[in-house]
Amino acid sequence: MQPDRVYTLLVCLALAVCGACEGTAQDVHFSACKSKSASGVSGLAAQALSSPNADAFSGLRCLRWERSGKRVRFEAINFLAGCSVAWEGEARERRGERSVDFVISDPDCLRFRCGNCAYDLSFAIDTSATELASDASVGFVLHDCEGQERSLGSWQLQPDQASSIRCAYEPNAPIPFECGKLHTPCRDHCQSAPLPGDRADPCDPGLSCQTLQPMLSLCLESCERDQDCPVPDAMSCTSGVCQVRR
């Protein structure tokens, strides 16, 4: 292959990954893999995030955004991906749409080292420097080592709201994983075999086993009102238990 063709190919590959990346995202931080200590993650350059109440998000996968003046902060909580990865991320503008995608990638291609880990992510966008619509849908995209991309969700901005959070159940997110805990499978529905001395109750005290789908029974927190729920902005008190709003 001719040198000029090699150069053209490399440029095209760079554009495919970064698109119209122009330093749009600010204060980008990834947490360490939640199943390992931060000191045990090779090459992790980003600082770990801290949630006000990390236990509240156990077993949930959430996307949250908050507006402050011209600045919008975005968070992804408990997204699952390959473990021990030093993630990189950058915003890519969508031409003509007044929106962006936040694209994450694994520069060392370590995603096959072991199973999944749960991570947190945060970044901010200054809307005064970016043509971001007040009702934009900001995509969360994974760019893999084969050059393919897949969506991990999206943040939907609302012009009349200062913040919003949406969650879904992610029973495999708690680290370390243990059935009978908040938002995890009930012990009598756990895939792993019970160990000698395991608790007989399906869920820990204060939690009740609820069948949400034919193959999904989770331990949910009891409640009397929405504010009793672990993440009240994303949950409602329905039939005496806290459930994620659909």
Report angle CA 157, 141, 111 to the nearest 5 degrees: 145
For residues 222 and 240, the answer to whether their CB atoms sit within 8 Å is yes
Closest to 71 measured CA to CA, from 129, 22, 126, 27: 126
Burial label, 224 (beta-carbon count in 10 A; 0-12, 13-18, 19+): exposed
pLDDT at residue 65 tops 90: yes
Phi, psi of 87 (to 5 degrees): -65, 150
When pLDDT is cut at 50, 70 and 90, the band that residue 121 belongs to is: very high
Mean pLDDT of the chain: 77
Domain ranges of the chain: 18-169, 187-244
Measured between alpha carbons, how far is residue 126 from residues 27, 130, 136, 220 in Å?
11, 6, 14, 38
Phi, psi of 8 (to 5 degrees): -60, -40
Q: What is the mean pLDDT of residues 7-27?
A: 44
Report angle CA 81, 86, 90 to the nearest 5 degrees: 85
Could you check whether the bond before residue 107 is cis, i.e. omega within 30 degrees of 0?
Answer: no
Cα end-to-end span (Å), the chain: 53
Measured between alpha carbons, how far is residue 17 from residues 9, 85, 151 in Å?
13, 18, 14
- pLDDT tens digits for 141-161? 999 888 889 999 999 999 999
- pLDDT tens digits for 189-215? 776 545 444 556 899 998 999 998 888
